Amino acid sequence: MRKEHDFLGEVPVPDDVYYGVQTVRAIENFHITGSRLDGDFIRSMALVKQAAAMANMKSGRMPKKIGQALLQAADEIVSGEWLDQFPVDPIQGGAGTSVNMNMNEVLCNRALEILGQPKGRYDLISPNNHANMAQSTNDVFPTSMKVCLLMKGRKLSRVLQELELELLAKEDAFKDVLKMGRTHLQDAVPVTLGQEMGAYASAVHRGRERIERSLSGLHLINLGGTAVGTGLNAEPDYIRSVAEELAARTGEPFRTASNLMDMTSNTDSFADVSCAMKCIALVLIKMANDIRLMASGPRCGLNELKLPARQPGSSIMPGKINPVMAEVLDQACYQVIGNDLAITLAVENGQFELNVMEPVMAYNLFRSLECLTNASRAFVTHLLKGLEANDSQCQYWVDHSVGVITALLPHIGYEKAAFLAREAYDSHRPVRDIVREHHILTDAQIEHFLSPWSMTHPGITGEGEDTLPISG
């Protein structure tokens, strides 16, 4: 053990770890979630520290030897080393101070090692004076959140694009599969299965655009604002260059906010991202549930879709196969919606010049992005790519539905159509047979008006004899 101290006193720290006294205190104080910090978040904070070190060296405040050692230590963390040296709980008091100091201590002790010095020699390289130079938790933590959210958000956007493209492929594959559309869970009018898939694709596209718009709002950062957004203890040259340094390292167009106090005290950009995720989650739930219903059965349900068999569906019922990939997508989306409430409460609970609830925002935002990304990818891979239409069953429901009579309204009028619909309901016979028996339309007209194309494409009315005068 080595002895380290802060203004509260002396604390023993294991010799083999790179963290220090403040991290040890955080480990003792916060046993909340039982989980560790997100790896992408650790890497993101290391990138922020690199940008800060470079900007401080450019301003002339950071000694080059120390700055270069800190840069190397941060590079190692960005590449995935030393992630086990960040044991603090994601949810913690102090607005993220424990995470920031954990990073500062690891950077300094590794930098000391690089320079041939023992861990804990903070008189040479200090977590507060060097790793945290011109910084505060209050600008480092939210900026690191934004770097991480953009990193994870780009992954989600790519997966949602894969989902959209696969749905568009299914739109084309199923373009000739006629089926019954339903409203109020009741038979409505015919649609094609391809049209339904195209509608899902359109909604996913809109959700993906909403996600990307919310991510673009994260490019405005408060790095350089330090404690409350006034820039206390930060050189003007540092404030001017630190966002540029971060942009160069991440490939994202970060820029310094014109009002650093606003960007330090308000966290609405995080609510924007969460809300966008909630909206796409609602779209995905609706799609997954539609698919579950269309695949219900197979003998005693709708049985319009055939899902890939992923696993036995019951510990007691032999041969049962469940729509597990649609179910897991639903559950992941429920988690996102629940996380959104926690984020909303945290965002509204900022007071004066700082919102101290950012750790719980970060925890839930990261989890939501991971849930949506992984569940959407699994849905595409394990369900959508192998999805098949049960053409004959779809056609059977159309043939035995009374809803198709709606297509005859422009030609025979509502009253006559309602009379024929009632007869079809009562006799349990197809609409085509009832219309044919009453000699209201010719066989050719029946086939034309009730053809898949006529019923599923607006504006198709036919010409000449196809359009009849409406009479009682």
Residue 431 CA to residue 402 CA, distance in Å, equals: 6
Beta bridge partners of 388: 306
Query: Would you say the C-alpha torsion 177, 178, 184, 187 has a positive or negative sign?
Result: negative
Residue 368 CA to residue 410 CA, distance in Å, equals: 49
Residue 343 CA to residue 377 CA, distance in Å, equals: 24
**Rounded alpha-carbon distances, angstroms, from residue 190 to 177, 258, 340, 456, 458:** 10, 55, 37, 6, 12
**Per this entry, what is the length of the chain?**
472
Active-site hit among 79, 144, 202, 314: 314
Residue 274 CA to residue 31 CA, distance in Å, equals: 26
159-163, long-range: CB < 8 A, 24+ apart = 159/372, 159/373, 159/376, 159/377, 159/380, 160/204, 160/207, 160/208, 160/211, 160/280, 160/376, 161/208, 162/376, 162/377, 162/380, 163/204, 163/376, 163/379, 163/380, 163/384
Beta bridge partners of 306: 388
Cα of first residue to Cα of last residue in the chain, in angstroms, is: 97
What is the DSSP-derived secondary structure letter of residue 35? -
Q: Other CB atoms closer than 10 Å to residue 348's CB: what's the count? A: 12
Residue 291 CA to residue 251 CA, distance in Å, equals: 39
Q: Is 314 a catalytic residue?
A: yes
358-382 and 268-294 helices, crossing angle to 10°: 30
Tell me which residues are annotated as active site.
Answer: 314
